[in-house]
Amino acid sequence: MTSTGQDSTTNRQRRSRHNPHSPSHNSSVISKRGVKKGAVPRSSPSLAEVKKKGRMKKLSQAAEQDLIMGLQELDLNLEPKALSGTGLVFEEQLNEFHCLWDDSFPECPERLHAIKEQLTQEGLLDRCISFQARSAKKEELMLVHSLEYIDLMETTQYMNEAELRILAKTYDSVYLHPNSYTCACLASGSVLRLVDAVLGAKVRNGMAVIRPPGHHAQHNLMDGYCMFNHVAVAARYAQQKHDIQRVLIVDWDVHHGQGTQFTFDQDPSVLYFSIHRYEHGQFWPHLKASNWSATGFGRGQGYNINVPWNQVGMRDADYIAAFLRILLPVALEFQPQLVLVAAGYDALQGDPKGKMAATPAGFAQLTHMLMGLAGGKLILSLEGGYNYRSLAEGVSASLHTLLGDPCPMLESPGAPCLSARTSISCTLVALKPFWEVLMQSAETLEEDCVEKDKEEGPWEPPVPQIMAWPMLCARTGLVYDRRMMNHYNLWDNHHPEMPQRISRIMCHLEGLGLTERCLTLPARPATDAELLTCHRWGWNHLTAHQCSSHASSAEYIARLRATENMKTRELHREGANFDSIYICPSTFTCAQLATGAVCRLVEAVLAGEVLNGTAVVRPPGHHAEWDAACGFCFFNSVAVAARHAQAISGHALRILIVDWDIHHGNGTQHIFEDDPSVLYMSLHRYDHGTFFPMGNEGASSQIGQAPGVGFTVNVAWNGPRMGDPDYLAAWHRLVLPIAYEFNPELVLVSAGFDAAQGDPLGGCQVSPEGYAHLTHLLMGLANGRIILILEGGYNLTSISESMAACTRTLLGDPPPLLGPLRPPLSGALASISETVHVHRRYWRSLRIRKVEDKEEEPSNSELVTKKEPQPANPGSAKGMARPEENILEAGMGKATSASPVEESIPGQAKSEIATVELAKDKSLEKAPDSQTPEEKLLGEAAGGQDLDDSKLMGFGDTDEATFYAVTPLPWCPHLTAVCPIPAAGLDVTQPCQDCGSLQENWVCLSCYQVCCGRYINAHMIQHHEDLGHPLVLSFVDLSTWCYHCQAYVHHQALLDVKNLAHQNKFGEDMPRPH
């Protein structure tokens, strides 16, 4: 057995996190969690061991250089500066018209009077950058309206009251005044003024407080108080003058904006989303086109989205659910360059027209969500709203949010009601054929696992909320102390948890000017009393996952303190008693300081010194159990900080802990698993229990213990390559729905960045921009009180860029634009769906399902129609296919794998290695769900990667071959397992040692045994399961596969064995790149 052979003898054995630079393990040293990462040095190493150690060091240095070169190719640079300022157009002249024959008409000047009074009272007018309104020109109005119609409206300036009244009666729900035309032109021009300001980089975002409204106005028709369609004109203007290719229009007015829909329903360059009262067509404008089944026509099919409310009394939770489940996923796939909002506030509680129950705080949430799109380029244009107080408070709340103020907490968000979930589900069904991100969005609900939803009783309006906007001296706190660098590995200079992790982050923050924008707080050590809130006997009963020792945790703290005076050999021996731990004389002080620093930041946030904060600390903490160090962690900083927050607040503060470290936070989960006041949500690599910290602790089935059942939520990734689309899908479908239902008062993030691109341990692909978006979405919770605490992350460049992106977002900068997003991986969707299935019984917000609406669902022919490519967006993230190539089952809306080929997306699939041609066989056509757990775990398994998760490229319509490109990893942490080539060399014709097969054989690069691949008799899979050897070489195409990374690998350390195999196979050396 080689030096890596003891790493795993079966899949059920626990393994420590792999250290790519550590010496070979001593299999005689076994920890409580399995084989240890660090090995005890032998007293007198042999000459062979000395040579091997030198070879490993050389390999490590070469691997580092390859990793650095690879990272240089990553687009990790963010814009050095972000725009600031909110533009506001508020023109008094817009009050110079009213209904001459009906003083009680709801669209009246008093609407703007109320808004101005509210904005003045709250000091918002002075905080905004004011822009003078201008009149829209005729040629600008003609971008949407006909010249004949514009000329007719112009003549109304010269009509008397009788003539105006006669003309008004020819339209639906309008009145005319001699100043109507002037004011309508001024209103449209006000929005155009803001378009110029936002797209001209003068302000970040803006709001036009205008009247008359516009979203009902059509090409040649007044309608519903509207003369000209302001947002429609603005969208066309942005496209024409500023060369904007993709515009998102969001219409949250309680009435459907049919005028806007009719303007763009055949245009794929404008995505229109409307959420409105419908009541099965009984509510104005009484159009079937307002229902969810209206998705657009021709090339614009799928670009019109309607979420129809079929009852009154809809609350914030209903609107938030529609945004999370439909709007945000589709918008990220669409990738708008500008967001326009038809901002009507007649869905607010108390409005006589809408009869809904949304709150101003709810509209602040919606505004905040939209600020994460289009690089923050967002413009709100006032539409309806007829309760003066509600209208004024709604406009104020949105304007506060645009200015960067935190969203107020929702009084009682709860979960979306049954009627809302029905509407959302119907819209999802209609949209699935057109948006890849929605293709697996609603699963069938098993009634026997979930309590049936009870019909809601009669709606009772809640007590109006009194909103308070915090006045802060500083926005973001930053805590760091160089003394935390004194914790280091005495025996391994290349250990991934190195002191430079925090110093590099701080240097990067300083270089970007971010530290100057933060309030730097002094770190302090945690007191024993603070540590004992989590590290003491009594929080949990002793279970199998905990140490067999019954020593109290007070003794554990004393035991760690005693290491300050230990000698080097004693420190090594003490570290070996824990799992994946090294200890030096400064370890206790550094761990104490890291935990205390987070507690100090919690104090600052709860006291109002700062709104949010970042803790750049080490050693990490989330693996630390109540009585044991684990996985580089000694004290559980996040857990102690949560208990500290509850202690100083004087009650069981509702705390959300989000753990996005690639490793499951076993310690945090165990500390809070029976506590319903702390919601723990972790997204991590699980790999069917084989990824650190091993076992089933991170499984989706782990849900907590009574009374904390349902308050432990695990999203268990069963493989590598998870990236921005997968994490965002989890956020939209699971994390945020539960979080809003829980309604936390404080959010703590275990911010490990080892899921980032380039991390040597995580094997995932989350970008700094992706982390910024995750942070932004969490900032809508808990009145903006959110703290990021550094956990893992072992690529110095990746963690520095990622923490900088998150810090910028905390400071109020809009999240940077994401590149074209691939669809979420099928494995990711499976993990998310599994967790959703487990937690539906505890969280009503997860009960989005396919249900029957009173209107028939779209026909099969409608469901299988895919959009054509958008000429305006050749690099769109959306994959395109002809109808006959559709991958949906007719009428089902579920993704299948009838063909393993997905059409490539221009500019997205980047392949740098040779294109491989594979014969098409039945084994490649299995649906993903038909795979066994073992097949999913092993993925390639010596001959066949999961094609649905690959970056695939199809070439024409052929039944004979499938072409795809694979980009191998330039390095992996398991290259140290490659052993010297045997003296006898290689024989590529050698049969499988188990079955004698001569087809598709692979050679193990640790022991050089030859076995057949997965599509023969899978003996190489069995070989890996038995011995744990990670790397194998194909005798067919000389590719190298790593079982642990589940990926191809191409590195200079493999060139010798590949060249020898090439000589044996072809009689000549392998071609070398120039």
Contact 792, 753 (CB under 8 A): yes
Residues in the chain, overall count: 1074
Which strand ranges, in their side-by-side order, compose the sheet holding 86-90?
129-130, 86-90, 205-209, 378-382, 338-343, 247-251, 270-277, 304-309
Pick the catalytic residue from 572, 623, 1024, 1062. Answer: 623
Is residue 623 flagged as an active site residue?
Answer: yes
What does the block give as tokens for 757? 């691109």
Q: What's the 3-state SS for 347-365?
A: CECCCCCCCCCECHHHHHH
Give me the half-sphere count of Cα atoms (radius 13 Å) on the Cβ side of residue 397: 30
CA distance 807 to 827: 30
Q: Which residue has the tokens 């790493």?
A: 7
CA distance 505 to 482: 12
End-to-end CA distance of the chain: 38
Please give the single-letter amino acid code of residue 583. I
CA distance 119 to 125: 6
Give me the half-sphere count of Cα atoms (radius 13 Å) on the Cβ side of residue 36: 26
CA distance 333 to 271: 11
CA distance 341 to 206: 10
Which candidate, 900, 877, 739, 890, places its Cα nearest to that of 817?
A: 877
Q: At what angle do helices 147-155 and 180-199 cross, to 10 degrees?
A: 130
Which candidate, 287, 497, 283, 316, places its Cα nearest to that of 397?
A: 316
Q: Which residue has the tokens 């500083």?
A: 474
DSSP sequence for 991-1038: PPTTT---SSEEEETTT--EEE-TTTT-HHHHHHHHH---EEEETTT-
CA distance 773 to 764: 17
Pick the catalytic residue from 216, 276, 663, 1024. Answer: 216
Q: What's the 3-state SS for 522-556?
A: CCCCCCHHHHHCCCCCCCCCCCCCCCCCCCCHHHH
Which helix (H) or strand (E) is 787 found in, with range?
strand 786-790
What does the block give as tokens for 71? 């990272």
Contacts of residue 46, defined as CB under 8 A and 6 or more positions apart, other chains included, come to none
Contact 1001, 97 (CB under 8 A): no
CA distance 673 to 707: 9
Is residue 98 flagged as an active site residue?
Answer: no
Alpha helices in 694-795 (DSSP H): 724-730, 736-742, 768-778
Q: At what angle do helices 796-810 and 768-778 cross, to 10 degrees?
A: 30
CA 294, 297, 302, 305 torsion: positive or negative? negative
Contact 215, 123 (CB under 8 A): no
What does the block give as tokens for 733? 């479908």
Give me the half-sphere count of Cα atoms (radius 13 Å) on the Cβ side of residue 268: 21
CA 194, 196, 197, 198 torsion: positive or negative? positive
CA distance 32 to 850: 46
CA distance 684 to 714: 8
CA distance 402 to 379: 9
Contact 158, 180 (CB under 8 A): no
Give me the half-sphere count of Cα atoms (radius 13 Å) on the Cβ side of residue 64: 13
- Return the ∠ at Cα 782 (arms to 780 and 785), rounded to 5°: 90
Looking at the annotation, which residues are catalytic? 216, 623
